[in-house]
Amino acid sequence: MADFPHASLANTADRLRALPPYVFARLDELKARAREQGVDLIDLGMGNPGGPTPQPVVEAAIAALRDPNNHGYPPFEGTAGFRRTITEWYDRRYGVKLDPDGEALPLLGSKEGLTHLALAYINPGDLVLVPSPAYPAHFRGPAIAGGEVWEVPLSADNDWIIDLGRIPEDIARRAKVFYFNYPNNPTGATAPREFFVEMVEFARRYEILLVHDLCYAELAFDGYQPTSLLEIEGAKDISVEFHTLSKTYNMAGWRVGFVVGNRHIIQGLRTLKTNLDYGLFSALQAAAEAALNLPEIYLHQVQQRYQTRRDFLISQLETLGWQVIKPKATMYLWVPCPPGMGSTDFALEVLQKTGVVLTPGNAFGEGGEGYVRVSLIADRDRLQKAIDRLQDAGIHYQMAVSESQLFDARFPV
Ligand SMILES: *Cc1c(COP(=O)(O)O)cnc(C)c1O
């Protein structure tokens, strides 16, 4: 900011300055410096699925691009076709009946909707319950809105599932919104159906708006089928559920997501959004329909791909002394740091010595301290290479802090 000619203009709004530093941004800087030095980075840090979007989706997009009917502003509420496809998909997958007029809204990616929902519902000072660790949009959206975030601590002892008993009565009474996400990013945890029933009871008792992020609806393994919050009786009175096409369909760059659930809550979000954006390009909505209608075999292939990587990496980490819990869903392993090492130190050390990028758990809040998140986004050869490099650098679970400091940084960044 020093060279900004009008220093006073460089003062961003308080709501921006109140945000905690974004760990991913710092990690990006370090990655850029390593790349400049010619390091062949193996990036297992991001949740950006590798691989192309399925061909039928690309073809549908091309056809839709050629249709001039798609070239104008899209309808604010999304195209009727995509909304109907969403509700039919819900019925097929979860046996949940939704009205395409009002209970489903396309989004510019789910992160957009998760964040804007906070602006639509949270006043400065309102209390918002957010687990720690959590996907950053779940606490940054409320923070931008000026809400007071009360972190619900997750722990390995409870399999990273929210323990409602840890929320004090006065906090529960004050809370207005509760964000949560299973299958969970970053921990890979899945929650049983009974947990969802408890969440609905809790939210109804204290009149809390429930926001469930079902981003990993389909990246599930070993026959496990994630639960939709809307399957639970009474849930639709008090909740919305967010989905994305980014992960399952390799469409992260397309920015397509949607929200379903209570029509009044969705209407609030829609009212805010009509003031901010014009919705998703109609041609992309046509492509998204093609994605949700892909044959089941596509899903099985995707699931198989991640499942194979999961099993491979867990067995390889075991040779380095790690006991990693096998997740039933998501594209992440949640790996404890060597005893005595913090998340940032460990991730930095691994990056400097091996060029392998991991995400420090504290990027997801204090509750993620002591862990790193490893994304299953590289193919088997690259995963093998990552393990070889860890081995060569003497990185293993039981390494003592002092021992680790004896090594010179091979890739000083
Ligand atoms: C990746 C991810 C998202 C973001 O999805 P987009 O639709 O690409 O914005 C949302 N929530 C969770 C938990 C995620 O892991």
Low-confidence residues of the chain, pLDDT below 50? 1, 402, 404, 406-413
Judge whether 344 and 363 are in contact, CB under 8 Å.
no
Q: What is the largest CA-CA distance in the chain?
A: 65
User: Which stretch of DSSP H or E encloses residue 262?
Assistant: none
Choosing from 182, 185, 244 the residue with most ligand 1 atoms within 8 A of its CB, the one to mutate for a pocket test is: 244
CA distance 320 to 14: 46
pTM: 0.94
Q: How many CA atoms lie within 13 A of 241 on its CB side?
A: 27
Q: Is the CB of 109 under 6 A from ligand 1?
A: yes
**Which tokens sit at 315?**
């067995």
Q: What is the CA(111)–ligand 1 centre distance, in A?
A: 6
Residue 316, domain member (yes or no): yes
In CATH, what number is assigned to the domain containing residue 386? 3.90.1150.10
pLDDT value of residue 233: 97
Q: What is the pLDDT of residue 9?
A: 78
Assigned domain for 411 exists? no
Say if residue 265 is in the same domain as residue 371: no
What are 56's two structure tokens? 């039928």
Pair (248, 121) in one structural domain? yes
CA of 106 to the centre of ligand 1 (A): 14
Q: Dihedral, CA atoms, 296, 301, 303, 308, nearest 10 degrees? A: 160
* Co-location of 239 and 381 in the same domain: no
Cis? peptide before 183, omega within 30° of 0: yes
385 and 307 co-located in one domain: yes
What's the pLDDT score for residue 223? 93
Q: What residue has token string 């001039």?
A: 68
Task: Specify whether the CB–CB gap between 189 and 181 falls below 8 A.
Answer: no
Main-chain phi, psi angles of 194, to 5 degrees: -60, -35
Mutate to test the pocket of ligand 1, among 53, 105, 110, 185 (most ligand atoms within 8 A of CB): 110
Name the nearest CA neighbour of 118 among 99, 139, 145, 156.
Answer: 145
Please count the structural domains in the chain. Answer: 2
Residue 1 lies in a domain: no
At a CB cut-off of 8 Å and minimum separation 6, what does 155 contact?
163, 367
125 and 252 in a single domain? The answer is yes
* pLDDT at position 413: 38
Residue 339 is part of which domain span?
A: 11-51+297-392
Q: Do 334 and 186 contact (CB within 8 A), yes or no?
A: yes
